[in-house]
Structure 1
Amino acid sequence: MGVLMAIVGVVVVLCFCSALLRWNEVRYRKKGLPPGTMGWPVFGETTEFLKQGPNFMKNQRARYGSFFKSHILGCPTIVSMDAELNRYILMNEAKGLVPGYPQSMLDILGKCNIAAVHGSTHKYMRGALLSIISPTSIRDQLLPKIDEFIRAHLSNWDNKVINIQEKTKEMAFLSSLKQIAGTETISLSDSFMTEFFKLVLGTISLPINIPGTNYHRGFQARKTMVNVLNKLLEERRASNETYHDMLGCLMAREENRYKLSNEEIIDLVITLIYSGYETVSTTSMMAVKYLHDHPKALEELRKEHLAIRERKKHDEPIDWNDLKSMSFTRAVIFETSRLATIVNGVLRKTTQDMELNGYLIPKGWRIYVYTREINYDPFLYPDPLTFNPWRWLDKSLESKNYFLIFGGGTRLCPGKELGITEISTFLHYFVTKYRWEEVGGDKLMKFPRVQAPNGLHIRVTSY
């Protein structure tokens, strides 16, 4: 009897689940929507997406084509994997396709961060950001600071086993602080480091503000960082000194045509640290990994950087002309970004009912411009799973409509060249000073984030 009741119970549960799934599918079966599945009510297909990773997208594409509906990341979503259509979506913010990043990210990075705003506000905030990270600023102010910091950061690695993942994260974080706050970097880093890591985790969590959740910890970390930055801003204003760093430029209201409030400055600073942290640290780590696994690429890279060192005195820093001559270095960075796929895609949101690709997309739906599979398309990148930096020596690749590694349209990453400068400087000193070998056989994960869960350990020795 007990067994029979158990069987009946299982059947009832299965029937209920099947009916629930069916109800949810019917609920979203609106006229004009692209094909696809919606999964469970509320949760949708987020679990399957995060669990299966790229395979989920491949399976859906095989069933429904390169433009399909789903319910991931907490909301009904259209997934686009078509290169031409992706470019159109990214280029047409004015037609009702605004950023659609998760609520947790928008809450924790602040309402004035450039990912949250659009229209004239975005144009103004982007202009303020570009004013402090322009090519001229990089050449005259930022590159000397980056060079000095990177040399100091790498100075004591000889004859040590290091976790390159941890070291590149420290590098990206502290380098950003040095550029932003200059002389106050040491005091800021002590109060910022732990809080910043909490903030990062909070931005990729469900927006549930209950003590103990990553979102709650991230939001509290933001409050702490805002208080520290507010205090720093007030101290600087009271001192009447001139500061030659990013914060100083943003605060110089007379010289700077962008007149920002404290809140706008703080959100801009937090976003700047956040945006560069993940991309610079992960690209640097994966470049070390790929160069280790591909000796010919490492040899070519060392050749380029040794030629630069031969033109300079022993401790002479690199300059703008040196940076512009690093064509193979730039190729290594692009190929690392493509193969590792550090950014899987970008999110947009419809502000009105609109037609896309022959389908009617309702107002308020997210559109996930999923670029990951494009990076591995053999028609676009021959032998796509091979690390081949030489392909990027063809400069025309950077202008192709499917080249979306740094975003596109009015949302093209404003810190692209600054990030390339930081990674190039790191590679310059790392490959000319050290050789390395991997130890420990550490595992790598590439979804949903590129990371080594237990670290990526290497043994470093000087040449």
Structure 2
Amino acid sequence: MDIFYASLLSLFVVVFSCSRCFGFFKSKLDVDVKPPPGGRGWPVIGETIEFVTCGRKGHPEKFIVDRMTKFSRHVFRTSLMLEDAAVFCGPEGNKFLFSNDNKLVQVWVPASAKKIIPSLEGVNQTVLKTVRNILKPETLREYVPIMDMVAQKHFETGWEGNNQILTHKLTKNFTFLVACKIFFSVDEPEWVNKLSVPFERLAPGLFSIHLNLPGTLFRRALKAGAFINKELTAIVKKRKSDLANGKASPTQDILSLMLCDDYGRLMAETVVADAIMGLMIGGYDSTSSTCTFIVKYLAELPEIYEGVYKEQIEIAKYKKPTELLTMEDLSKMKYSWNVACEVLRLVPPTQGTFREAISDFTYKGYSIPKGWKLYWSTNSTHKNPDFFHEPKKFDPSRFDSKVPITPYTYVPFGGGAHLCPGKEFARLEILVFIHHLVRRFKWKKVIPNEEVIFNLVQPKVAKGLPIHLHPHKP
């Protein structure tokens, strides 16, 4: 059976390669363009394997830096995800793409992701506007105490009383619990567990090969996406009914806020469900990854840990034992957030994202044809010594307000019209996590030199970052 699928895949590669090559040469005959310098790599797969391999070896910036050095520090040509692509580099490249969202370029996701989450097709601007309108600091401040309650319960049941834990598993559990509670007021363990398994299968399939065959990442993610949408659509329908009958509060969670928003009222139930799904993917995978790497760096850098610990103890000193955290408390966690920002610089939750040219245009003297995929990468600036002195050094002072950061060089959440709408939500969640983590424990890594792997979905520590816990004495 394995041989059959291998043969089928090989046939697909050959046929697709021929069609791609023919289409490429035809376009060259029809249009006289001067594309950016670079190479397309292998037929069909292009340079995707090398792009992914660099990340798996822990050096995702190598793919970008090598080609910036060889071809151009502004833009170079390649082929990724079975598509002709141009990689825009540096702050100028980031600014150009972000500033031209929905003008010259639009967000692009591969066919696999659009099949798994259908509403990603065209990325509905009304949905984005609704989500951004809701996830503002002044709105989210009401949910900080709820995050705090979830965090307290999580640390009491998942961390305390254990000599050793698997960090990434527990951070994913934490961010998923917070998402379920804040997004749609669900915290029943049975339901949360039922939904967490499909979410585990969802993200890996979003950027997988679009082959709907048994055992593939895409097939697993496709089934998971359908199941999640069905469950969330049922919740949306019930909430609409409860709001109409006065059984639910218009402000009790993100779902109610969406359904009571002027734009949200017009959305189909499945679209609302997909929007919530998208938010949960970001809040679940991306934020849990950042929390995991915060644990990693605090274990490796005792002086940084002490700075965070002192700040959090100072904040707790003025709180009553049962008093919950507030937005004002989080606003005082300046050093802790600087530490988180440095983690986001060194290990951003995504390496970059794709846009698509919606018309022909010229950039830095090179022609970009309509339909080309355009990729921006954090790795052209985040670890670039031109913008960050000693870029490999962990230095939270980079983010002191006294030290200006060159615009468009620090972009862990993207930018432009598609700036991550959950940025503020992630900030609050990370700070609540740090507060409870350092006040309760010191810790030591079980595997001193555990490998870090970067991929298109999120960075991760190879073995999940097992740590020995050392509770603070009362």
What letter corresponds to residue 40 of structure 2 in structure 1? Answer: M
How far has the Cα of 1:427 moved from its partner?
Answer: 0.2
Indicate if the aligned counterparts of 1:341 and 1:372 stay in contact, CA closer than 8 A. Answer: no
Tell me the equivalent position of 1:92: 100
How far has the Cα of 1:237 moved from its partner?
Answer: 4.0
How far has the Cα of 1:228 moved from its partner?
Answer: 1.2
* Residue 228 of structure 1 pairs with residue 240 of structure 2: no
Alignment partner of 1:319 out of 303, 313, 326: 326
How far has the Cα of 1:188 moved from its partner?
Answer: 3.1
* Residue 422 of structure 1 pairs with residue 429 of structure 2: yes
What letter corresponds to residue 69 of structure 2 in structure 1? Answer: A
Tell me the equivalent position of 1:330: 337
Alignment partner of 1:400 out of 407, 412, 437: 407
How far has the Cα of 1:342 moved from its partner?
Answer: 2.7
* Residue 145 of structure 1 pairs with residue 152 of structure 2: no
How far has the Cα of 1:95 moved from its partner?
Answer: 2.3
Residue deviations 1:31-56 (CA, integer Å, cap 9, x gap) = 31011111222111111221234323
How far has the Cα of 1:102 moved from its partner?
Answer: 1.9
* Residue 181 of structure 1 pairs with residue 184 of structure 2: yes
Distance 2:183 2:23 in 1: 49
Tell me the equivalent position of 2:13: none
Aligned identity (percent) is 27
The 5 A counterparts of 1:39-438 are 39-53=41-55, 54=60, 55-66=62-73, 67-111=75-119, 113=120, 116-117=121-122, 121-122=124-125, 124-140=126-142, 142-156=143-157, 157-158=159-160, 159-183=162-186, 185-239=188-242, 240=245, 241-243=247-249, 244-252=252-260, 258-394=265-401, 397=404, 400-438=407-445
Q: TM-score, normalised by structure 1?
A: 0.88
Q: Aligned with 2:452: secondary structure? A: coil
Indicate if the aligned counterparts of 2:167 and 2:466 stay in contact, CA closer than 8 A. Answer: yes
How far has the Cα of 1:224 moved from its partner?
Answer: 0.9
Indicate if the aligned counterparts of 1:342 and 1:450 stay in contact, CA closer than 8 A. Answer: yes
Indicate if the aligned counterparts of 2:168 and 2:464 stay in contact, CA closer than 8 A. Answer: yes
Distance 2:137 2:224 in 1: 32
Distance 2:76 2:135 in 1: 38
Indicate if the aligned counterparts of 1:34 and 1:68 stay in contact, CA closer than 8 A. Answer: yes
How far has the Cα of 1:160 moved from its partner?
Answer: 2.1
Relative to structure 1, is the Cα distance of residues 370 and 257 closer, same or farther in structure 2, using a 3 angstrom cutoff?
A: closer
Relative to structure 1, is the Cα distance of residues 425 and 395 closer, same or farther in structure 2, using a 3 angstrom cutoff?
A: farther
Indicate if the aligned counterparts of 2:105 and 2:357 stay in contact, CA closer than 8 A. Answer: yes
Distance 1:79 1:422 in 2: 32
What letter corresponds to residue 226 of structure 2 in structure 1? Answer: K
RMSD between aligned residues:
2.4
Residue deviations 1:371-400 (CA, integer Å, cap 9, x gap) = 213111112111110111111113664672
Relative to structure 1, is the Cα distance of residues 349 and 396 closer, same or farther in structure 2, using a 3 angstrom cutoff?
A: farther
What letter corresponds to residue 446 of structure 2 in structure 1? Answer: V
How far has the Cα of 1:194 moved from its partner?
Answer: 0.9
Indicate if the aligned counterparts of 2:345 and 2:410 stay in contact, CA closer than 8 A. Answer: no
Distance 1:52 1:230 in 2: 39
Distance 1:149 1:184 in 2: 9
Unaligned runs of 5+ in 2: 1-17
Indicate if the aligned counterparts of 1:179 and 1:246 stay in contact, CA closer than 8 A. Answer: yes
Relative to structure 1, is the Cα distance of residues 110 and 26 closer, same or farther in structure 2, using a 3 angstrom cutoff?
A: closer
Relative to structure 1, is the Cα distance of residues 319 and 338 closer, same or farther in structure 2, using a 3 angstrom cutoff?
A: same
Q: How many residues align?
A: 436
Residue deviations 1:236-274 (CA, integer Å, cap 9, x gap) = 344531141122222336x77653220221011100101
Residue deviations 1:123-181 (CA, integer Å, cap 9, x gap) = x21221123322122111x2111110011111142342000011111111121011112
What letter corresponds to residue 249 of structure 1 in structure 2? Answer: L
Distance 2:421 2:188 in 1: 23
What letter corresponds to residue 438 of structure 2 in structure 1? Answer: V
Unaligned runs of 5+ in 1: 1-19
How far has the Cα of 1:199 moved from its partner?
Answer: 1.1
Indicate if the aligned counterparts of 1:442 and 1:454 stay in contact, CA closer than 8 A. Answer: no
What letter corresponds to residue 471 of structure 2 in structure 1? Answer: S
Q: TM-score, normalised by structure 2?
A: 0.86
How far has the Cα of 1:430 moved from its partner?
Answer: 0.6
Indicate if the aligned counterparts of 2:180 and 2:186 stay in contact, CA closer than 8 A. Answer: no
Distance 2:260 2:407 in 1: 39
What letter corresponds to residue 214 of structure 1 in structure 2? Answer: L
The 5 A counterparts of 1:433-452 are 433-441=440-448, 443-448=450-455, 449-452=458-461
What letter corresponds to residue 294 of structure 1 in structure 2? Answer: L
Q: Aligned with 1:155: secondary structure? A: helix
Tell me the equivalent position of 1:15: none
Q: Aligned with 2:461: secondary structure? A: coil
Indicate if the aligned counterparts of 1:292 and 1:437 stay in contact, CA closer than 8 A. Answer: yes
Q: Aligned with 2:411: secondary structure? A: coil
